[in-house]
């Protein structure tokens, strides 16, 4: 009997040892992957990966401050952008659980000064699920130039969009809107009598000991806060200023990868909400992008993993001047991937997919240099012919890849500097590479419109709306073009 027990103990030890070695191997693969993305100028930030609820990798890559050569670390603080929304959603559901608000009543119940024509038709549930029809304030023309740098009180900023006509009947469809989550923050303040920041701190951050998370204020000296940068081709610049009263409950938080691990772990418990209320955050209420649905502050998707079957992925990305972020959870295997980047938009989704494949022992794509960066230099410095020649030379080079987001950013950089013909060529390359993306046709349509070619602008906006029926901005442009055509 004693030999049998010893044998069992030995087997358990060996099994744990082999699992540990396996986890270390995965961690090394992930670290090498992220290091290569860093080398190619596509990731500058901090990462944390957990499997079975245990952290297998947490590491900084690149620099938190380029002027002083200060490296990113696991405790570096990054602006989160729209990852903020999941915290706002939990606060709202918490108030509902406590009987202090109802999710299915008009928002005018709590905001009596909100224009009744629209407010009486919009519920808190609509705000949580981006189905209110309220136009997204960050899509307003010249938003960054006219509004983003100025401080506003929540009440005053709401007045900048509360009288706008709705994009659609509330509840009819999904259209991502920061405006809805801004309103949720103000509703929290009206009900609790506290600022959004105060209620967030005492309800989530303090109980979870998330001591490196908070509402960001540019004027406050915050230890270990990363500076935000933007990429212009291969060059970096300091990100443009945004007053943090503007993103508010839709995007003004900062955190670290370590604190977001604490957040992830709490979501498996009932520390913050009852089991029923917690489940309400992760229900697929409405179809959002592609195969994804939207819950309360979270995007949801069922993904088929070879040898595993379908797994539910719960995640959300974020973007704000100088930063982009992603948090991705797979509850079935207690997997967590957090990527926080401080050099503007980059391919975090691509990186997240490769990390997931490593965790599930699947093949994954190796990082590639971004062809867009080479094209920007060629098109901007040498013109259209040189740009197209560079594209022909490099498009079949296996070390380079065409990345939709990078190409889009390069096209807009050219457009903003008056290089309309060059921008059109870049957007055309993107259309050729991603023919099923509504966004690439939208961008090409915008470039043609800027160049005065209304016929081709109309054709491309039409294709964009066909591929992406949620493209309300594209629909508005088509309406204007049709009106002018009729005249």
> What is the spatial distance between Cα 273 and Cα 385, in angstroms, rounded to a whole number?
60
pTM equals 0.88
For the CA atoms of 124, 125, 130, 133, the dihedral, rounded to the nearest 10 degrees, stands at: -60
| pLDDT at residue 17, rounded to an integer | 44
Domains delineated in the chain: 81-359 (3.40.710.10), 369-486 (1.25.40.10)
| pLDDT at residue 14, rounded to an integer | 47
Q: DSSP labels for 317-333? A: EEEETTEEEEEEEEGGG
| pLDDT at residue 374, rounded to an integer | 87
Residue 231, beta-bridge partner list: 236
Residues 6+ apart with CB under 8 A from 455: none
Distances (CA, A) of 165 to 119, 173, 438: 11, 16, 24
Give the SS3 label for residue 231: strand
The predicted-structure confidence for 2-37, as pLDDT tens digits, reads as follows 556 665 555 455 454 444 556 689 999 999 999 999
Distances (CA, A) of 72 to 58, 217, 252, 302, 375: 11, 20, 20, 33, 29
Q: Which residues of the chain have pLDDT under 50?
A: 11, 14, 16-19
Q: What is the β-pairing status of strands 78-79 and 286-287?
A: unpaired
Structure tokens belonging to residue 61? 């890559």
């Amino acid at each position: 009997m004693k030999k049998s027990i010893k044998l069992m103990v030995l087997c358990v030890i060996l099994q744990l040892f082999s699992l540990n070695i396996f986890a270390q191997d995965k961690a090394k693969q992930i670290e090498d992957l992220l290091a290569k993305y860093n080398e190619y100028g596509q990731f500058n930030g901090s990462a944390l990966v957990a499997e079975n609820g245990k952290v297998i990798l947490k590491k900084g890559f690149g620099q938190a401050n380029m002027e002083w050569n200060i490296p990113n670390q696991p405790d570096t603080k990054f602006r989160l952008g729209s990852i903020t929304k999941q915290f706002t959603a939990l606060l709202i559901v918490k108030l509902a659980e406590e009987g202090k608000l109802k999710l299915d009543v008009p928002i005018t119940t709590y905001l009596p000064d909100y224009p009744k024509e629209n407010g009486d038709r919009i519920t808190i549930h609509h705000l949580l699920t981006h189905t209110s029809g309220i136009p997204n304030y960050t899509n307003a023309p010249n938003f960054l130039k006219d509004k983003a740098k100025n401080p506003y009180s929540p009440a005053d900023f709401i007045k900048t969009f509360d009288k706008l006509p709705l994009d659609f009947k509330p509840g009819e469809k999904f259209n991502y809107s920061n405006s809805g989550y801004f309103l949720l923050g103000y509703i929290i303040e009206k009900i609790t009598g506290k600022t959004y920041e105060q209620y967030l701190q005492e309800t989530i951050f303090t109980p979870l000991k998330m001591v490196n998370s908070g509402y960001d204020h540019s004027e406050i000296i915050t230890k270990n806060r990363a500076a935000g940068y933007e990429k212009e081709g291969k060059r970096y610049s300091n990100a443009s200023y945004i007053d943090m009263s503007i993103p508010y409950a839709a995007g003004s938080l900062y955190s670290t990868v370590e604190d977001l691990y604490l957040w992830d772990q709490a979501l498996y418990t009932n520390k913050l909400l009852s089991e029923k209320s917690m489940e309400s955050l992760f229900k697929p209420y409405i179809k959002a992008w592609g195969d994804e649905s939207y819950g309360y502050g979270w995007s949801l998707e069922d993904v088929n993993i070879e040898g595993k079957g379908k797994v539910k992925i719960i995640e959300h990305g974020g973007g704000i001047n100088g930063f982009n972020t992603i948090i991705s959870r797979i509850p079935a295997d207690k997997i967590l991937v957090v990527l926080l980047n401080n050099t503007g938009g980059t391919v975090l989704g691509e990186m997240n997919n490769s990390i997931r494949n490593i965790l599930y022992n699947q093949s994954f794509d190796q990082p590639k240099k971004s062809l867009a960066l080479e094209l920007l230099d060629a098109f901007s410095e040498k013109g259209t012919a040189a740009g197209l020649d560079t594209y022909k030379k490099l498009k079949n080079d296996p070390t380079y890849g065409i990345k939709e987001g990078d190409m889009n950013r390069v096209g807009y950089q050219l457009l903003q500097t008056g290089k309309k013909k060059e921008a059109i060529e870049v957007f055309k390359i993107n259309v050729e590479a991603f023919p099923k993306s509504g966004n690439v046709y939208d961008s090409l349509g915008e470039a043609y419109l800027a160049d005065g070619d209304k016929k081709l602008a109309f054709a491309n906006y039409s294709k964009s709306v066909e591929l992406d029926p949620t493209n309300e901005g594209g629909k508005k442009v088509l309406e204007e073009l049709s009106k002018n055509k009729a005249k």
